[in-house]
């Protein structure tokens, strides 16, 4: 467990899970509106939400956290399966006494996490925001191996280079609206060997997670207000995957009771860093829809 500056207007807290591990959480905002819970993608810590969390926190309570091994959270000796990650999210909310309905925001690998949480605890979900959330159709054994190798290379770069250099590699199109002080926090917790190593551990469980992902997608999106943000820019190596990715997302949302898709133009997979305003607006729309 490590104490880290969470950024201006944000507060750090620690929660002890049932098995004794501690997770570092970051809170912002107040009021009686629904709690917004941010779930990051592979290799991404709580700091990946710092700018957006502050903006959403001006309207309602928010919570992000470092998954096990990231940032200031204790590592986990068990496999970082989708089920294990969701167990930790449940333990985090239980430990904070947050048992009421929340708005869940999941980017990339965070998408399957919030889907599984919603299946397990339907009464604790008020609304959903999927941010270029991973779908089973774009994952394969080859994709899993590629992700694992990429995280290994990035961890090596982090050890031999600087965080700023690695940041340019993993997130070359960060929006200029993200303040330099927030970029320092993001670089500290994201562009580091520790984050890449844990990202690799999570990537090792992609194939194990696929049956669960397919089952969750077949079951459908819960009957709560939902927005699905999809990247509009086709990045290198995504010429085939991106159209499929967005098509599957559109089909999933079309079958959902209260959901819609928003394609974010000129934006790649790292939507929270490239176009944080799109994420903020989607989250606040859902907050408004579920607020009394």
For 126-153, how does the pLDDT look when each residue is reduced to its tens digit (9 = 90+)? 999 999 999 999 998 888 888 889 999 9
Q: What is the pLDDT of residue 1?
A: 62
Q: Among 19, 197, 8, which residue's Cα sits nearest to residue 92?
A: 19
Percent of the chain with pLDDT over 70: 100
Please choose, from the candidates 14, 11, 45, 49, the residue with its C-alpha nearest in 3D space to the C-alpha of residue 30: 11
SS3 36: strand
> How many whole angstroms separate alpha carbon 249 and alpha carbon 254?
9
Judged on CB neighbours under 10 Å (0-12, 13-18, 19+), 218 is: exposed
Report pLDDT for 157: 86
How many helices (H) does the chain have, and how many strands (E)? 11, 8
Q: Is pLDDT of 292 > 90?
A: no
Fold type of domain 11-290: Rossmann fold (3.40.50)
pLDDT at position 70:
98
Spell out where the chain has E strands.
11-16, 22-28, 36-39, 62-65, 102-107, 125-131, 226-231, 259-264
With 0-12 / 13-18 / 19 or more C-beta atoms within 10 angstroms meaning exposed / middle / buried, residue 283 is: buried
DSSP reduced 3-state for 107:
strand
Residues 13-28 have a mean pLDDT of 98
Using one digit for the tens of pLDDT, what is the confidence trace for 183-210? 999 999 999 999 999 999 999 999 999 9
């Amino acid at each position: 467990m490590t104490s880290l500056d969470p950024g201006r207007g944000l507060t750090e807290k620690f929660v002890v899970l049932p098995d004794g591990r501690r997770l570092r959480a970051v809170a912002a905002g107040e009021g009686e509106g629904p709690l917004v819970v941010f779930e990051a993608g592979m290799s991404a810590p709580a700091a990946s939400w710092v700018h957006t969390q502050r903006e959403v926190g001006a309207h309602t309570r928010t919570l992000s956290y470092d998954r096990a091994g990231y940032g200031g959270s204790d590592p986990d000796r068990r496999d970082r399966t989708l089920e294990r990650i969701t167990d930790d999210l449940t333990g985090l909310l239980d430990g904070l006494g947050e048992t009421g309905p929340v708005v869940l925001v999941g980017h990339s690998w965070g998408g399957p996490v919030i889907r599984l949480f919603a299946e397990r605890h339907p009464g604790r979900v008020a609304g959903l925001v999927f941010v270029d959330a991973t779908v089973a159709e774009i994952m394969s054994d080859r994709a899993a191996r590629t992700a694992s190798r990429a995280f290994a290379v990035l961890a090596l770069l982090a050890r031999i280079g600087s965080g700023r250099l690695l940041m340019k590699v993993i997130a070359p199109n960060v929006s200029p609206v993200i303040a330099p002080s927030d970029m320092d926090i993001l670089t500290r917790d994201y562009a580091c060997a520790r984050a890449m190593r844990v990202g690799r551990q999570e990537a090792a469980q992609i194939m194990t997670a696929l049956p669960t992902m397919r089952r969750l997608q077949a079951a459908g999106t819960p009957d709560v207000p939902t927005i699905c943000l999809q990247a509009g820019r086709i990045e290198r190596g995504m010429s085939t995957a991106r159209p499929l990715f967005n098509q599957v997302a559109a089909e999933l949302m079309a079958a959902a009771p209260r959901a819609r898709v928003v394609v974010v133009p000129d934006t790649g997979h790292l939507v929270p860093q490239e176009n944080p305003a799109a994420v903020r607006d989607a989250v606040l729309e859902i907050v408004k829809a579920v607020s009394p």
